[in-house]
């Protein structure tokens, strides 16, 4: 759950860690529970909680001495989901596919030169693809990345590859633009991307770009799990997921 890195302002990171903790616990928490759960100093924990209450993102129950998110938090980003044929469709679709496939089902989006998971439904099976919201995956060497890039024009993809290659510290990490574009074109024809052992050994995934009615870029829906299991069920997973996308998004 920790949000770390030289580019993250400490107080900003802690605000989101508090919201993530509340989301994970799904119950009101006291300042002491937040402090212990995240390992914060008492003084800064109270200061952050009071600020979030003042801004309207947390409510404070004086009798129970607990904090809970307000509907203002629930409303953040609602316009993004509404761009996909109305509110509630994406989450309902995610839950439906999760129930029907019993595999890990995720929503992700491109975040600069990586993919970032935004919603995750973990498989109930013993062997699973384990991811959490906020985790990053490679843009150019993952099924979800190729699915996202399939919604971009070829010149844009080339520019992204150039930016990525400039950041690489050794030549072995660099991406070949034309090879990547060939993979992306196959995704455009099929309508989905399939990847086995691409960035996680032993893990396979099938990913679909979900194009909003309004807005610049696609979200990506993926179904993932152990390579052998996903390979064996590939056709069934594709049929199930396509049917759910049509039912909820009309795609």
Q: How far apart are CA 103 and CA 205, in angstroms?
A: 10
Please state which architecture CATH assigns to domain 10-75: Orthogonal Bundle (1.10)
Q: Any bridge partners for residue 206, and if so which?
A: 194, 223
- Write out pLDDT tens, residues 41-51: 888 899 999 99
Helix, strand or coil, per DSSP, at residue 209: strand
pLDDT in tens, 95-112: 999 999 999 999 988 888
Which candidate, 203, 242, 206, places its Cα nearest to that of 222? 206
Nearest of 120, 103, 101, 47 to residue 226 by alpha carbon: 103
The residues pairing with 105 across neighbouring beta strands, listed in sequence order, are: 121, 223
Q: How far is CA 42 from CA 18, 27, 141, in A?
A: 14, 20, 43
Residue ranges per structural domain of the chain: 10-75, 78-249
Fold of 78-249: Beta-Lactamase (3.30.450)
How many angstroms separate the most distant Cα atoms in the chain? 63
pLDDT at position 3 is 46
As averages over each run of 10 residues, the pLDDT of the chain (251 residues) reads: 55 87 88 91 90 85 84 69 60 93 92 87 85 86 96 94 92 93 97 95 95 71 96 97 90 60
């Amino acid at each position: 759950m920790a949000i770390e890195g030289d580019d993250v302002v400490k107080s900003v990171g802690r605000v989101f860690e508090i919201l993530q903790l509340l989301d994970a616990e799904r119950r009101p928490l006291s300042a002491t529970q937040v402090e212990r759960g995240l390992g914060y100093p008492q003084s800064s924990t109270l200061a952050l909680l009071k600020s979030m209450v003042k801004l309207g993102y947390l409510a404070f129950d004086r009798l129970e001495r607990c904090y809970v998110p307000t509907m203002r938090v629930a409303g953040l980003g609602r316009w993004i989901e509404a761009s996909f044929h109305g509110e509630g469709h994406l989450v309902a679709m995610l839950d439906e596919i999760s129930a029907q496939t019993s595999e890990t089902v995720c929503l992700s989006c491109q975040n600069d030169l990586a993919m970032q998971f935004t919603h995750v439904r973990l498989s109930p099976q013993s062997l699973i693809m384990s991811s959490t919201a906020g985790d990053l995956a490679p843009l150019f060497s993952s099924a979800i990345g190729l699915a996202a890039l399939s919604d971009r024009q070829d010149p844009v993809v080339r520019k992204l590859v150039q930016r990525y290659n400039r950041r690489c510290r050794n030549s072995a990490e660099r991406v070949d633009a034309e090879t990547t574009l060939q993979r992306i074109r196959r995704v455009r024809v099929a309508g989905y991307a399939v990847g086995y052992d691409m960035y996680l050994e032993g893990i396979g995934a099938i990913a679909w770009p979900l194009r909003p009615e309004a807005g610049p870029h696609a979200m990506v829906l993926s179904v993932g799990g152990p390579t052998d299991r996903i390979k064996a069920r590939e056709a069934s997973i594709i049929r199930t997921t396509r049917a759910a996308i049509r039912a909820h998004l009309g795609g």
